[in-house]
Chain A
Amino acid sequence: MFLEERESTHVYRQKRMFTKEELETRERLCVHEQPAFCNAACPLKLDAKAMLQAVAENDFKKALQLYEKITPFPHVLSAGCEAPCEGSCLLCRMGEGVAIRKLEQAVCAYGEKGRKGLPRMKKKKTVAIFGSGLFSLFLAGELQKKAYPVTVFCAENDLQHYFDAETGFVSARARESSLLALKGMDIQFRFQTDLGQLSSLREGFDVVCASWEAVKDCTDWEEALMYSRELKIVTGKTSGVLGAAFGAKKAALSVDRLAQNLDPSNTRGEEGTVETKLFVDLTDVKASNQCIGSGTREEAVAEAGRCIQCTCDACVKACAYLQHYKKYPRILTREIYNNVSIIMGDHMMNKPINACALCGQCSVVCPNGYDVGEICHIARQNMVTTGKMPLAPHEFALMDMLFSNHEAFLCRPQPGFEQCKYVFFPGCQAAAIAPDTVAAAYRDLCERLEGGVAIMLGCCGAICDWAGRYEMYDETKAFLDEQLKSLGSPVVIAGCPTCKKELSGHEGLVLTGIWDILTEIGLPESAKGLDTPAALHDSCGARGDRQTQDAIRGLAQRMGCTLVDTPYCADKSPCCGYGGLTQYTNREIARKMTQKCLERSELPYISYCMACRDRFAREGRESKHILELVYGTNAGSPPDISQKRYNRLSLKQELLRQIWNEETEEMDFGFNIEYSPEVTALMDDRMILKSDIIAVLQQLRQTGEAVLDGETGLCIARARLGNVTFWVKYQEIEGGYRVFGAYSHRMNVVRRQG
């Protein structure tokens, strides 16, 4: 039985994952790129977070560059800014917020000026500013930065007096620096001007600005634009230092628009303060007090170090997959969406799409429930629909599922019952990893439950569901339903939380977990907990299933286990690396996922999903499935891929022999094969089964086709099995073969004529 490979790379079908609107709605849920609270509260949009980071790193030069971005006069602004950022600092909720304004002053004091950039070409349109004061000063600075030829008309006698007009709050030193900066700016001044002559003096200028005092009789000005349409003057009332700086920013933008003969109200972008939706996890943040007294450099560094650098990374912190790709859900979603929309060429996001465990942990740790797994699952189904899904990453797992539901499938009512009240569905991984435990559990259920307990050994369909093969999933679902019907539609006792979750999608099915049954009927005599404390790992299949999580804890405690909950337990539990077929599609990430699970505790792990048990043991951790403790069994070392298949088949045969007294066929293919441990490990790594080797050697025996390598003395035979060609290096021995190596490729090779 083989799966069909997609026909061609030259198939140009396309189907959108969802509409652009839905994409945007989904993207909006990710708040990672939302501004920090201090940044959102600043009308000038100071990136205080980045500035504080630079100060904390003792890089005052960079900090000053960031601060200078928002104002031409950093000394003046920092001396008088009302600092709404400070009140919005999250640290205020538990202690003192960061002293941002004092840090701005420190940045001005200790930050070295960077090199002046290249001289910019002056703009052609000229601007006049009438009057003095903070608004006039800031506006002159802003317009000079924008390279307008600016002329300031003021009543004062000289530059010193012009600067002093409203800057009494600035310290002497800062005043000196600011005045120096002002002198260095390319601004023309007309001192001792009679501002009453504005209407005649404005002649010849393209745009006219004025301080509020210079246009006393103005009534129709618009605050958002700082503009009077009646007077055609950029002006407005401001209050405070920050108000003047912000007013000057708005006014400078209006000047830009007017200089281009455009209405100042159009296309201005987002101005002023904004509301941020950023979520910051404050669980590990402790209250602290400000430590910037006299404002020394060291104090400033320490104070800036208090900044917690607000960001939302709840999902990335929790998930090895997101950490691996270093991408936040919004970006990932957009890239996946675009990947799916590509008709021709390389699909760079296929690997990330197929590497997600689809476990849903992100949807629980994200404050807005962003589910990357759902996106990847939709993308996989989409790729299957359009014929763009490669078979290679999932083929082994899908073939394994077919094996579970064919050769290794078993569905029998308990002897003596035509129809049963229950059916035990242990799950394919339990049968593959711990067949003795499954057998013990089934015997126990038959013995202690009334009404008959049937057994169904097979796969619930999770494999094809994860692979996005929805048609195959529907077929599996129909097949299982038919089998269950033949048993009299009994209550399904799932042995695996993922099976329980998958089977819950079947209409009219009554489902329970073996853990619920054991809670009800009590533990068997064999039950014995671990002697040492253990960490409980919740299965990702039980996410949102509190009843299962509690039942497992209850059972473990009744067996005398001392359980230690780990970070990210219960609903927040990460996947072990098996889910979503990550184990098959990306072994590196799957391993990181396992390690992420294990880094939560040094203790032995108890789990209730056999895949978790297997992957933890593979990493060398003492790992027990709860049913091993209940039935006093030991699944031992993790089996290789061939052993997993053998275990499923032999469990079926053992049950048939022992419970139903049926004769079963011996698994004999008529010759012996010897493998060294190195070859077995190599085959496991290359996903080559012993059954593949047998098939190659069987074909060899039929055709005699092989090659002798004169250099190594080894023979090499091959067989095309489905979509893969397997090659086996062997030597003949008495009664069979000794295998020295095996490899495979998917490309088909044929002889070419000519």
Chain B
Amino acid sequence: MAEKNYYTIDPMGKLQCMKCRVPLEKGKAKFMYLDNGFPVELPVCPQCGFVYVPEELALGKVLAVERALEDK
């Protein structure tokens, strides 16, 4: 069975890896915090593997989950 993704962002070709000069693609990534893992799909460089976390995600969902986990 496919692993559940908690969040998906498709870069739709709008983001480019500065190092590899190729567009970022929707790729598999994982957020890790306090021994908890959350599989997600984020913009990833297909060559160097750079995973991009946009500001809205960092200050929104990610922050909310961080706070919830911190009080566990």
**A118 lies within 8 A of chain B by Cβ:** no
Identify the closest chain A residue to B38 (Cβ).
Answer: A747
Choose one: B18, B30, B66, B69; the contact of A752 (CB below 8 Å).
B30
**B72 lies within 8 A of chain A by Cβ:** yes
Identify the closest chain A residue to B24 (Cβ).
Answer: A707
The answer to whether A711 and B29 touch across the interface, beta carbons within 8 angstroms, is no
Identify the closest chain A residue to B62 (Cβ).
Answer: A745
Interface membership of chain B positions 42-56, coded 1 if the CB is closer than 8 angstroms to chain A and 0 otherwise:
111000111111010
Q: How far is the CB of B60 from chain A (nearest CB, A)?
A: 10
**A708 lies within 8 A of chain B by Cβ:** yes
Chain A, range 654-676, C-beta contacts under 8 Å to B:
none
**A172 lies within 8 A of chain B by Cβ:** no
Residues in B whose Cβ lies below 8 Å from that of A725? 53
Known A-B contacts A727-B58, A750-B30; the reply to A745 vs B19 at CB < 8 A is no
Identify the closest chain B residue to A9 (Cβ).
Answer: B72
The answer to whether B28 and A751 touch across the interface, beta carbons within 8 angstroms, is yes
How far is B69's CA from A345's CA once the two chains are assembled, in angstroms? 9
Chain A, range 1-21, C-beta contacts under 8 Å to B:
5-10
Known A-B contacts A9-B34, A9-B35, A705-B48; the reply to A743 vs B58 at CB < 8 A is yes
Identify the closest chain B residue to A344 (Cβ).
Answer: B72
Known A-B contacts A7-B35, A9-B36, A707-B24; the reply to A749 vs B30 at CB < 8 A is yes
How far is B54's CA from A729's CA once the two chains are assembled, in angstroms? 11
The answer to whether A707 and B43 touch across the interface, beta carbons within 8 angstroms, is yes
Q: How far is the CB of A341 from chain B (nearest CB, A)?
A: 15
How far is B71's CA from A88's CA once the two chains are assembled, in angstroms? 48
Residues in B whose Cβ lies below 8 Å from that of A711? 14
How far is B4's CA from A726's CA once the two chains are assembled, in angstroms? 27
Chain B, range 1-29, C-beta contacts under 8 Å to A:
3, 13-19, 24, 27-29
The answer to whether B62 and A750 touch across the interface, beta carbons within 8 angstroms, is no
How many inter-chain residue pairs (CB < 8 Å) link A and B?
115
The answer to whether A750 and B32 touch across the interface, beta carbons within 8 angstroms, is yes
Stretch at the interface among A179-187, A346-354, A510-518: A346-354
How far is B42's CA from A351's CA once the two chains are assembled, in angstroms? 31
The answer to whether B39 and A752 touch across the interface, beta carbons within 8 angstroms, is yes
- Total residues of chain B contacting the partner, CB 8 A: 43
Identify the closest chain A residue to B51 (Cβ).
Answer: A749
How far is B52's CA from A718's CA once the two chains are assembled, in angstroms? 9
Q: How far is the CB of A222 from chain B (nearest CB, A)?
A: 55
Known A-B contacts A6-B34, A745-B58, A753-B28; the reply to A390 vs B71 at CB < 8 A is yes
The answer to whether B55 and A704 touch across the interface, beta carbons within 8 angstroms, is no
How far is B31's CA from A345's CA once the two chains are assembled, in angstroms? 21
Most buried by B among A345, A741, A745: A745
Q: How far is the CB of B30 from chain A (nearest CB, A)?
A: 4
Interface membership of chain A positions 678-713, coded 1 if the CB is closer than 8 angstroms to chain B and 0 otherwise:
000000000000000000000000011111111100
Choose one: A703, A706, A741, A749; the contact of B55 (CB below 8 Å).
A741
Most buried by A among B27, B29, B44, B50: B50
Residues in B whose Cβ lies below 8 Å from that of A707? 15-18, 24, 43, 50, 52
Q: How far is the CB of A126 from chain B (nearest CB, A)?
A: 58
The answer to whether A8 and B35 touch across the interface, beta carbons within 8 angstroms, is yes
**A145 lies within 8 A of chain B by Cβ:** no
- Total residues of chain A contacting the partner, CB 8 A: 44
The answer to whether B51 and A750 touch across the interface, beta carbons within 8 angstroms, is yes
Residues in A whose Cβ lies below 8 Å from that of B35? 7-10
Residues in B whose Cβ lies below 8 Å from that of A753? 28
Known A-B contacts A7-B35, A711-B14, A752-B30; the reply to A747 vs B71 at CB < 8 A is no
Known A-B contacts A7-B35, A347-B72, A748-B31; the reply to A708 vs B16 at CB < 8 A is yes
The answer to whether A346 and B72 touch across the interface, beta carbons within 8 angstroms, is yes
Residues in A whose Cβ lies below 8 Å from that of B68? 346
Residues in A whose Cβ lies below 8 Å from that of B15? 707-710
The answer to whether A348 and B14 touch across the interface, beta carbons within 8 angstroms, is no
Identify the closest chain A residue to B35 (Cβ).
Answer: A8
How far is B24's CA from A744's CA once the two chains are assembled, in angstroms? 21
The answer to whether A749 and B29 touch across the interface, beta carbons within 8 angstroms, is yes
How far is B45's CA from A37's CA once the two chains are assembled, in angstroms? 74
Known A-B contacts A705-B48, A706-B18, A725-B53; the reply to A748 vs B66 at CB < 8 A is no
**A746 lies within 8 A of chain B by Cβ:** yes
Residues in A whose Cβ lies below 8 Å from that of B52? 707, 716
Q: How far is the CB of B22 from chain A (nearest CB, A)?
A: 11
How far is B52's CA from A736's CA once the two chains are assembled, in angstroms? 23
Residues in A whose Cβ lies below 8 Å from that of B44? 751
**A392 lies within 8 A of chain B by Cβ:** yes
Residues in B whose Cβ lies below 8 Å from that of A8? 34-36
How far is B58's CA from A347's CA once the two chains are assembled, in angstroms? 23
How far is B17's CA from A706's CA once the two chains are assembled, in angstroms? 6
Identify the closest chain A residue to B43 (Cβ).
Answer: A707
How far is B19's CA from A354's CA once the two chains are assembled, in angstroms? 43
The answer to whether B55 and A708 touch across the interface, beta carbons within 8 angstroms, is no
Residues in B whose Cβ lies below 8 Å from that of A344? 72
Residues in A whose Cβ lies below 8 Å from that of B69? 9
Residues in B whose Cβ lies below 8 Å from that of A750? 29-30, 32, 51
**A204 lies within 8 A of chain B by Cβ:** no
Interface membership of chain A positions 719-741, coded 1 if the CB is closer than 8 angstroms to chain B and 0 otherwise:
00000010101000000000001
Known A-B contacts A710-B15, A751-B44, A751-B49; the reply to A745 vs B66 at CB < 8 A is yes
Give 20 CB contacts A-B under 8 Å. Answer: A8-B36, A392-B70, A703-B19, A705-B48, A705-B50, A707-B15, A707-B43, A708-B15, A727-B55, A727-B58, A729-B55, A743-B59, A745-B66, A746-B33, A749-B53, A750-B29, A750-B32, A751-B44, A751-B49, A752-B39
New A-B contacts (6) at CB < 8 Å, excluding given A9-B72, A392-B70, A750-B51: A350-B71, A706-B18, A707-B15, A747-B33, A751-B51, A752-B30
Residues of B within 8 A of A (CB): 3, 13-19, 24, 27-36, 38-39, 42-44, 48-53, 55, 58-59, 62-63, 65-72
Top 6 A-B pairs ranked by shortest CB distance? Answer: A8-B35, A390-B70, A9-B72, A752-B28, A706-B18, A745-B58
